[in-house]
Amino acid sequence: MNPNIVDLVTRDPTTNEYVVILVQDEPWSDAQEKIEQLLKKINNYVRFIEDGQLYKMYPNAIGCQVRLQLDCNSPPVGEAASLIRQAQDLLLERGIGFAVNQIISAKPIHTKP
């Protein structure tokens, strides 16, 4: 997880929300370094939205709801889960949603031709 890179931005056609996606493809860990990386990534994503960078890159997002989405292979546990719950509450106060989406795989899959 590189905290300085926005992994993906998309639009949810069912809700018309712009979704800024964080990808966590490593196993969850309570190691302080990993928790700090997650916190830094969340903060950078919020700054990306609130400083207007999202709207400069995606002008169609102006006036739309925005949510952060954490795509991960397994549900967050321990300190990561606690951090995410706190972030969800704080972001909701700012009008930004935050969802956790469990995915099957965040890694490329190579198929045979």
* pLDDT tens string 7-31: 999 999 999 999 999 998 888 888 8
Residue among 68, 57, 67 at smallest CA distance from 17: 67
pLDDT the model gives residue 14: 94
For residue 113, what pLDDT is reported? 65
Overall average pLDDT of the 32-52 stretch: 93
Q: Which residues contact 79 (CB under 8 A, 6 or more apart)?
A: 30, 35
SS3 16: coil
pLDDT digits (tens, 9 = 90+) for 58-92: 999 999 999 999 999 888 999 999 999 999 999 99
